[in-house]
């Protein structure tokens, strides 16, 4: 079945850039997503990218997709303490259910 | 509040009891999804509905689990004879299935603790 993998933990200093990486196995993935989950809160969609794109920028967020290597990354510029959360990569096929990675915990040090 | 709502937010039960959770999606959304998230893991798909039809079920959904969406609006997820391994956060999401990107809007979840 489909598999989505992420590193468990990332620590950065406030003001630095954060890069969170994700790999997936399903070559028929249509959309790839980044969700944010803060403690005690639900999942919040940050951004998504269609599989025929290789980059998408949205304010401080930049998503890079290498479809050949099935590698997705999320770059957060000028990381703030409020960005501390768990970030989930997810993929979907034909807009159906999402397959999530295990999440990357981002810690931002002041 | 026009987001996805779930009730109850927390449920503590004893092993062997039955529990039922409710999800109210965003009103115009025709698709509704259930996911389960255990501690330290990402959400895992359980099942989804398009209107009142249950279109897909994960192998995670054992015969102790049943989900319904009788009128194509709210949905319920029932777990019979709960086990300690059922302890998790149960998440509901909804979307309007149209062409293009399908953004799933998530509710706050129901946290189940089985003692």
Average pLDDT over residues B94-100: 71
- Predicted confidence at residue A95, as pLDDT, reads 55
Residue of B nearest to A93 (CA): B102
Q: Which one, of B23, B11, B26, lies nearest residue B47 by Cα? A: B23
The span from the CA of A10 to the CA of A20, in Å, is 8
Residues of B in contact with A45 (CB under 8 A): 103-105
Q: Tens digit of pLDDT for each residue in A54-97? A: 999 999 999 999 999 999 999 999 999 999 999 999 998 765 78
SS3 B9: coil
**Confidence at A26, pLDDT banded by 50, 70, 90:** confident
Q: Which of A46, A98, A105 is best to mutate for the B interface (most B CBs within 10 A)?
A: A98
| Contact across the interface for A102 and B42, Cβ inside 8 Å | yes
Range list of β-strands (E), A4-70 = 4-6, 9-13, 18-24, 31-37, 43-50, 55-58, 61-66
Fill in the DSSP letter of residue B43.
Answer: -
- Predicted confidence at residue B101, as pLDDT, reads 61
Question: Does the CB of B25 have a partner CB in chain A at under 8 Å?
Answer: no
Nearest-CA distance A80 → chain B (Å)? 23
Give the A window 23-82 contacts with B, CB below 8 Å.
31, 41-45, 48, 50
Q: Tens digit of pLDDT for each residue in B52-77? A: 999 988 888 889 999 999 988 999 99
């Amino acid at each position: 079945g489909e598999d989505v993998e992420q590193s468990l933990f990332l620590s950065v200093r406030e003001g630095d850039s954060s890069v969170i990486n994700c790999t997936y196995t399903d070559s028929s993935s249509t959309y790839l997503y980044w969700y944010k989950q803060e403690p005690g809160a639900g999942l919040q969609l940050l951004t998504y990218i269609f599989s025929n794109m290789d980059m998408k920028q949205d304010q401080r967020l930049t998503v890079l997709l290498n479809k050949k290597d099935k590698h997705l990354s999320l770059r957060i510029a000028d990381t703030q303490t409020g960005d501390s959360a768990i970030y989930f990569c997810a993929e979907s096929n034909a807009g159906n259910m999402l397959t999530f990675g295990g999440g990357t915990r981002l810690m931002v040090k002041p | 509040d026009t987001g996805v709502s779930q009730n109850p937010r927390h449920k503590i039960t004893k092993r062997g009891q039955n529990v039922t959770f409710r999800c109210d999606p965003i009103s115009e959304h025709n698709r509704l999804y259930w996911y389960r998230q255990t501690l330290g893991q990402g959400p895992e798909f359980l099942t989804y509905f398009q209107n009142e039809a249950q279109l897909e079920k994960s192998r995670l959904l054992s015969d102790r689990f049943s989900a319904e969406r009788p009128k194509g609006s709210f949905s319920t997820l029932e777990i019979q004879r709960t086990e300690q391994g059922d302890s998790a956060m149960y998440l509901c999401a909804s979307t309007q299935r149209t062409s293009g990107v399908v953004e799933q809007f998530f509710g706050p979840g129901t946290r189940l603790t089985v003692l």
